[in-house]
C-alpha cells in the first residue's frame, strides 16, 4: 500500500534543530573567552610562583624558605590542574576519577620528600565526568586538604572519592591524632580550610571533621550544578 506524503506547509513552524550561524558565533565567542581566561589565570599563577621563589632564595630563614616552598608547590599544582582541566571543553570533560588520581600523584611528587616513606593512596567508587569549572573547584579542594594532611598529619594520606547524582563526597585521611576538641572550622581553621569550607558551602555542600574514627579524617561534600 502506497502512503502519500502531504506537501510541506511553509507556514508551519520549522522543526529544524540545526544550529544557526548566530548560535555558532556565540559558541565560538564563549570558547575564545574561556581560552583567554585560562591564559590569564595560567600567567598570573606562574608570576606568583616566580615571585615566591625569588623571595625564598633571598630569605635567610629556613622556616620561611620551607613555607614559601610549600606555597610554590601548591601554586604549581594548581597550574597543572588548570592546564589539564582546560585542555577539554566542558561538553567533553575528561574521566574525572582518572584526572584526580593523576593529580594525587602530582601532589605526592610536589609535596612529599622523596626520602620519606609516606604515600598518597587514591580510590574512587566509579568513573565519572565533570565540566571544566567543577573539575577545577574540586581539584582545588583536593589540593588544599591533601596539603594540610601532608603538612600537619602523620603517616600515609588516603584520598577517597564517592560520586553521586547530586554531589561528590571527598574524604581525606591520615594517621594523625585528629583535630583538637573543640575545633570549629569557621572560627579555628586557617585560611586554607576556611576557603575549602566556603567552596563547599557555595555549592550546597559541607566540610566536616569525622570524629567517629581514631585518626584524622576530613570529609568534603561538593554539590553538583544542575
One domain, residues 99 and 211: yes
Give a yes or no: residue 4 inside a domain. no
Give a yes or no: residue 19 inside a domain. no
What the block records as the C-alpha cell of 38 is 585560562
Give a yes or no: residue 124 inside a domain. yes
Give a yes or no: residue 6 inside a domain. no
Structural domain span for residue 175:
95-226
Q: Strand (E) positions, 58-166?
A: 120-124, 157-163
Contacts of 223 (CB under 8 A, 6+ apart): 166, 167, 203, 204, 205
Spans in the chain with pLDDT lower than 50: 1-19, 23, 30, 89-92
Give a yes or no: residue 74 inside a domain. yes
Q: What is the pLDDT of residue 33?
A: 61
One domain, residues 131 and 160: yes
Q: What is the pLDDT of residue 155?
A: 92
One domain, residues 118 and 223: yes
Give a yes or no: residue 65 inside a domain. yes
Going by C-alpha positions, the residue among 106, 109, 219, 104 that lies closest to residue 172 is 219
One domain, residues 174 and 65: no
Count Cβ atoms below 10 Å from residue 108 Cβ, excluding itself: 19
One domain, residues 138 and 116: yes
Q: What is the pLDDT of residue 186?
A: 78
Number of domains in the chain: 2
Q: What is the pLDDT of residue 75?
A: 80
One domain, residues 107 and 50: no
Q: Is 178 left (phi over 0), alpha (psi -120 to 50) or beta?
A: left
CATH of the domain at 162: 3.30.565.10
Q: What is the pLDDT of residues 171-192, one digit of tens each?
A: 999 998 888 788 888 788 888 8
Amino acid at each position: 500500500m502506497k502512503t502519500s506524503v502531504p506537501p510541506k506547509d511553509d507556514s508551519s513552524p520549522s522543526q529544524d534543530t540545526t544550529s544557526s550561524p548566530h548560535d555558532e558565533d556565540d559558541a565560538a565567542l564563549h570558547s575564545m573567552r574561556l581560552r583567554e581566561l585560562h591564559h590569564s589565570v595560567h600567567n598570573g599563577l606562574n608570576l606568583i610562583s616566580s615571585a615566591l621563589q625569588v623571595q625564598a632564595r633571598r630569605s635567610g630563614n629556613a622556616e620561611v624558605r620551607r613555607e614559601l616552598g610549600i606555597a610554590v608547590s601548591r601554586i604549581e599544582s594548581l597550574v597543572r590542574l588548570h592546564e589539564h582541566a582546560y585542555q577539554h571543553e566542558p561538553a567533553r570533560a575528561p574521566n574525572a576519577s582518572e584526572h584526580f588520581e593523576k593529580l594525587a600523584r602530582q601532589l605526592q611528587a610536589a609535596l612529599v620528600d622523596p626520602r620519606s616513606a609516606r604515600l598518597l593512596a587514591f580510590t574512587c567508587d566509579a568513573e565519572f565526568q565533570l565540566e571544566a569549572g567543577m573539575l577545577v573547584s574540586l581539584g582545588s579542594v583536593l589540593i588544599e586538604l591533601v596539603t594540610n594532611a601532608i603538612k600537619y598529619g602523620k603517616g600515609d594520606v588516603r584520598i577517597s572519592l564517592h560520586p553521586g547524582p547530586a554531589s561528590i563526597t571527598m574524604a581525606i585521611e591520615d594517621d594523625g591524632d585528629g583535630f583538637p576538641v573543640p575545633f570549629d572550622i569557621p572560627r579555628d581553621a586557617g585560611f586554607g580550610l576556611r576557603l575549602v569550607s566556603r567552596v563547599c558551602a557555595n555549592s550546597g555542600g559541607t566540610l566536616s571533621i569525622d570524629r567517629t574514627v581514631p585518626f584524622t579524617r576530613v570529609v568534603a561534600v561538593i554539590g553538583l550544578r544542575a
